[in-house]
Amino acid sequence: MSNDTRSLSTPQHRLLEIFSSLELPILAAPMFLVSGPRLVAACCQAGVVGSFPAPNARSVTKLQEWLEQIVSDRDAAAGRGEQWAPWMLNMIVHSTYDRFDTELELVRRYKPPIVSTALGSPARILEAVHEYGGAVIADVVTPALARKAVAAGVDGLVLVCNGAGGHTGTSNPFAFVAEVREFWDGPLGLAGAVSNGRDIHAAQVLGCDFALVGTRLVATEESLVEQAYRDMLVDCSMDDIAATKAVSGVLANWMKPSLAKAGIDPNAESRAQIDFSGNIASANKAWKHVWSAGQGVGQVRRISTVAELVDELHQGYRQSVSRPV
């Protein structure tokens, strides 16, 4: 069990304070090729934690511009006395990712309140983020990886369960949360097909402090995706989702029509080689031409703004919380 996770002086407590202070305890999932500064700003203005993955900026120069924009938007909102929830940057910490050191320097400069890690150990960023008072969250897909992240000193965990869009897990959320709660009493988030207000409440009932919403945000007007991607989300249901390693080498959920259009067989025995070197957002990467979505895609019935979606989620959440048991 972690020691004194609720101490007021710890990054863990600051994370808990962030999510307990929100009317809707959600984190916008950092979605590859989907989340950018406009989506971050819309989420933060709507009162939920906005985020984006650093690799979505096609160059380090562009990443710096995005970070400048987010900080500027936040400061301008504060100057007008407007609500602005904290924001998060997601970093790839895999050994093949060759922008890591440069991105870490930008983290030190722009000080995102939360930094999350994917595809590797959070140990690589802990010291830098803790220096300025930030908190580190690790995405994990198994209890074993959760234990490793806790041993490394992470401040929060996100359990990526079966049905998550993009890189996904295979675990049932009931079993995953219960097992992790046996050794971790710190901040805990749940990812995987969280699509409505009832789902957010259910994550809390299971023992989580917050939930991640991803696929439904892809279909918002503020995301980076092209209109055809949004339209496909509206048209697809859970039956149209395939989990495969054929695209990136890592198990991920994709919409079958986009796989077919790209000529990728999700049932092929071969898998792509894991390689996050170079510009991973470039057009020559296989994942540039296919579109991810989680198993909750059937809940995407229309294209909306972030504000409209958050209002809908909040209404459903309040109804679920107030429903007699």
Q: What is the 3-state secondary structure (H, E, C) of 247-271?
A: CCCCCEEEEHHHHHHCCCCCCCCCC
Instruction: Determine the pLDDT at residue 206.
Output: 98
Instruction: Determine the pLDDT at residue 116.
Output: 97
Instruction: Determine the pLDDT at residue 290.
Output: 92
CATH 3.40.50.2300 assigned to domain 11-224+302-322? The reply is no
Instruction: Determine the pLDDT at residue 240.
Output: 98
Name the segment(s) of the chain with CATH classification 3.20.20.70: 11-224+302-322
Instruction: Determine the pLDDT at residue 96.
Output: 86
Nearest residue to 73 (alpha-carbon basis) of 222, 192, 213: 222
- Tens digit of each residue's pLDDT, the chain (325 residues): 343 333 457 999 999 999 999 999 999 999 999 999 999 999 999 999 999 999 999 999 999 999 999 999 999 999 999 989 999 999 999 888 889 999 999 999 999 999 999 888 999 999 999 999 999 999 999 999 999 999 999 999 999 999 999 889 999 999 999 999 999 999 999 999 999 999 999 999 999 999 999 999 999 999 999 999 999 999 999 999 999 998 878 899 999 999 999 999 988 765 655 555 555 554 455 556 799 999 999 999 999 999 999 999 999 999 999 998 6
List, as one string, the DSSP characters of 13-70: HHHHHHHHHSSS-EEE---TTT--HHHHHHHHHHTSBEEEEGGGSSSHHHHHHHHHHH
Instruction: Determine the pLDDT at residue 249.
Output: 82
Instruction: Determine the pLDDT at residue 277.
Output: 55
Instruction: Determine the pLDDT at residue 2.
Output: 40
How far apart are alpha carbons 189 and 30 in whole angstroms? 13
Instruction: Determine the pLDDT at residue 268.
Output: 77
CB contact at 8 A, 226 and 42: no
